[in-house]
Amino acid sequence: AQRVTQPEKLLSVFKGAPVELKCNYSYSGSPELFWYVQYSRQRLQLLLRHISRESIKGFTADLNKGETSFHLKKPFAQEEDSAMYYCALSNTGNQFYFGTGTSLTVIP
């Protein structure tokens, strides 16, 4: 069965500090991995997807198949990064599974 685990419900970092939001998954096939973000009073939106291999708003995420992880990283956190972050997986049947989310707070 597919599963996405985000071990941290809450994460606080100081402005300018590096941030890493953890995501682990379980899936025997080749997954598509995504990070979605929800800013305060806004709707859920795509931040980035591993297949694009791009950096969005300074965030990057690398798919590590050996460790079944897709951690989200940013070298210097900004106050506007404070939001709820969800890791998601899509399987070969195009079914989507979301993690429980990590609430990131960047302290000024």
Partner 1 sequence: EAGVVQSPRYKIIEKKQPVAFWCNPISGHNTLYWYRQNLGQGPELLIRYENEEAVDDSQLPKDRFSAERLKGVDSTLKIQPAELGDSAVYLCASSLGGDAETQYFGPGTRLLVL
Contacts to partner 1 by CB under 8 A: 4, 9, 32, 34, 43-46, 49, 51, 86, 88, 90, 93-101
What stretches of 7-54 adopt beta strand conformation (E)? 10-14, 19-21, 24-26, 32-38, 45-49
Q: How far is the CB of 58 from partner 1 (least distance, A)?
A: 20
Which CB, 2 or 60, lies closer to partner 1? 2
Which CB, 12 or 52, lies closer to partner 1? 52
Q: How far is the CB of 67 from partner 1 (least distance, A)?
A: 21
Which CB, 8 or 32, lies closer to partner 1? 32
Which of 55-88 are b and which e, b meaning 16 or more Cβ less than 10 Å from the residue's Cβ?
eeeebbbebeeeebbbbbebeebeeebbbebbbb
Which CB, 71 or 78, lies closer to partner 1? 71
Alpha helices in 1-108 (DSSP H): none
Radius of gyration of the chain (CA): 13
